[in-house]
Amino acid sequence: MCGIVGYVGSKSALDILLEGLTNLEYRGYDSAGIAVNVEGKVELYKAEGKLQNLKNITTAKKEHIEKSTIGIGHIRWATHGAPNTVNAHPHSCNCGRVAVVHNGIIENYKELRVKLEKDGCVFKSQTDTETVAHLVAKKYAQTKDLTEAVRLATKEIEGAYALAVIHQDVKNTIVATRRNAPLLVGIGENEYYVASDVPAIIKYTKNAMYLDDNQIVTLTPSSMKLIDIDGNSISQKIETLPWEPVALSKMGYKHFMLKEIHEQPDVVRNVLSGKLRAIDEKVILNEVTLNRESLKNLNRIQIVACGTSLHAAMVGKYIIEELCDIPVDVEPSSEYIYRKTVGDKNTLVIGVSQSGETADTITAVRQAKSRGSHILIVTNRPDSTMAREADSLVPVNAGIEVSVAATKSYMAQVISFYLLAIYIAEIKDSASKSILEKIKRELIILPQKLEKVLSHKDDVQICARKFANSKDFIFIARGINFPTALEGALKLKEISYINATGYTAGELKHGPIAMLDESMPVLAILMKGKVYDKILSNAEEAKARNARMIALTDSEDVKLDDLFESIIRVPEVDETLSPALAIVPLQLLAYYIAEFLGKDVDQPRNLAKSVTVE
């Protein structure tokens, strides 16, 4: 959360910074700001709220600001201090010569602030970041060297940070550094970029260098110097970024979320590509580096994740336990890290994360790693911090996901779990060939079924309109689709702000049923299989309490018409694979309700796409 961007070169920095921030807006949108150096003077421009507010301010002074060929920018997801203009980055020191943008949290900012105030620093904001600006200014006054000033400052600050700093007295220079927060440098011709994430710079260059923790980079239009925290020079590893700028376009869809929902059939094809070639061939998962013996000896699996990734992990638990006979625990990373967890070298720990930058999950996998467990990371970002912790790295290849509400990355994670479970089962010989072949067959034809679901999206839209004004929503399911109910409810909450909850259908009668009346929609995920009849009975119970009933089903049974006010039908699917199909209408339902209510679908309030604070 929070995104930073910087540019130094010969072009005007303004448009590059604003474009970069636009493509980082998924990381936060509480405020935005830039610092530029116009005719030898550092100037700050900041605005509360969406980036558009900053754009309005800078447009009014465009002719002036665009003279600067250097600048840093920031998009904020507030942690310390209210989301107002004063707390917006960049932050500065007493004399206004330093400007700092920061992603992360300075944990010892209170102590630092007390010391700095004693030294005469006057704080304007409530942020942790302002301490860095004053500290760098102080160190610069002592050393007259910006790189050294930043290096000495980072020796005193604790916590997580990606920082970019400019100083009025050091022309055409950006100094940037990181610890436990992502940062990369884009390399152009006689120009450099710095950013929290690839989308900010991909339009300009595909050559980049990822910083490691405690590295400090000094950029001028003609040079890039990299040192460690002790001041030693280190060699630079330049990489070619795998993304294409087109990934950042809505391709004619009204929102990124809708585009990403529609990409799911291709996402499934991508995930399966090269891994599942035919029904009668074994799954190939070279990314898993555990040898066959170790896989056979696994006595438990722990999966840690947050939010939507946690729901994908829950589907993973069902499949792995079903096919591999290994007990699987799934836990929110934020809980896992604050208790004694039991595990050893025969415990496989799987971290699941779209961004690979979720602080809680990074801490959880590090904790498990220190105890000797093998760490397998399932992520959409093989270039992320979490990926670097992996013993086995399984990239899910969903392509860049811009909408804050995760959709296609969930699909890719779920499909990756099917592959992983089949892979382990084939090594352990823990499931029959016919069962595995049935799942493989379903996986291969899943993209066509998803396309069919998407081609009937108008039915979902009609249902969405009918229920859009509900205050609350209940989703019920059993077994492998319980995570689908949770994920459907999460999607609705996130983007429409309707209070939605997923329950196991059997639990309804143990309390939640008290909430039911004629104003409460209850959506039953009624996929054919072991628990179909049971869920149907639970739906009857809810109907008897006058709830407004909706079914999501692959059954053609006409009797359902009497019980349900609305029915969303999907193609018939094997129960084991049903979560991958059933989630899509729920994503669409959330989308259409939010859109109907006029909500900001791609950037829902209070959220950020990657949560880099614990």
Binding interface with ligand M6R (CB under 6 A): 306-309, 353-355, 358, 361, 404-406, 494, 607, 610-611
Query: Contact at 8 Å (CB) between 343 and 300?
Result: yes
Q: What is the rounded distance in angstroms from the CA atom of residue 249 to the CA atom of residue 252? A: 8
Q: Is 137 exposed, middle or buried (0-12, 13-18, 19+ CB in 10 A)?
A: buried
CA proximity to 506, closest of 484, 530, 482, 529 = 482
Taking the least distance from each CB to ligand M6R, the nearer of 113 and 262 is: 262
Q: Give Cβ neighbours of residue 302 (< 8 Å, ≥ 6 apart).
A: 328, 329, 330, 331, 336, 341, 343, 347, 348, 349, 350, 368, 373
Q: How many CB atoms lie within 10 A of CB 297?
A: 12
Q: Smallest gap, in angstroms, from Cβ of residue 490 to ligand M6R?
A: 6
Q: In the complex, what is the shortest distance from the CB of residue 285 to ligand M6R, in angstroms, rounded to a whole number?
A: 21
Catalytic residue among 2, 93, 306, 324: 2
Q: Is 609 a catalytic residue?
A: yes
Nearest distance, CB of residue 487 and ligand M6R, angstroms: 8
Whichever of 378 and 439 has its CB closer to ligand M6R, that residue is 378
In whole angstroms, the minimum distance from the beta carbon of 309 to ligand M6R comes to: 4
Q: Which residue is nearest to ligand M6R (CB)?
A: 307
> Residue 364 or residue 531: which is nearer to ligand M6R going by CB?
364
CA dihedral in degrees (389, 395, 398, 404; nearest 10)? -10
CA distance 21 to 428: 48
Phi, psi angles (nearest 5°) of residue 598 = 75, 25
The single residue of 46, 259, 275, 609 carrying the catalytic annotation is: 609
Q: CA torsion angle for 445, 448, 449, 454 (degrees, to 10)?
A: 160
What are the helix (H) ranges across 511-610? 532-544, 560-563, 578-596
Per-residue CA distances from 501 to 459, 492, 520 (Å): 23, 9, 12
Give burial (CB, 10 Å; 0-12/13-18/19+) of 110.
Answer: exposed
Range list of H helices, 429-479: 433-455, 457-467
Least distance (Å) between residue 582 CB and ligand M6R: 17
Q: In a 3-state reduction of DSSP, which class is residue 73? A: strand
Closest among 84, 82, 102 to 92, alpha carbons compared = 102
Minimum CB distance to ligand M6R smaller for 265 or for 307: 307
Cα separation, 106 vs 125, in Å, equals 14
Q: Which residues is 472 bridged to in the sheet? A: 499
Beta carbon of residue 394, minimum distance to ligand M6R (angstroms, whole number): 14
Nearer to ligand M6R, 25 or 494 (CB): 494
DSSP assignment, residue 212? P
Question: Annotated catalytic, 2?
Answer: yes
**CA of 421: how far to CAs of 36, 78, 199, 545, in Å?**
52, 39, 33, 40
Tokens 């994740």 belong to which residue?
305
Which single residue is written with the structure tokens 């196991």? 504
- Compute the distance between CA of residue 142 and CA of residue 544 in angstroms, rounded to an integer: 77
State how far Cα 33 lies from the chain centre: 23
Please tell me the distance from the alpha carbon of residue 70 to that of residue 61, in angstroms, as a whole number.
16
Task: Say if strands 223-227 and 216-220 run parallel, antiparallel, or are unpaired.
Answer: antiparallel
The catalytic residue positions are 2, 609
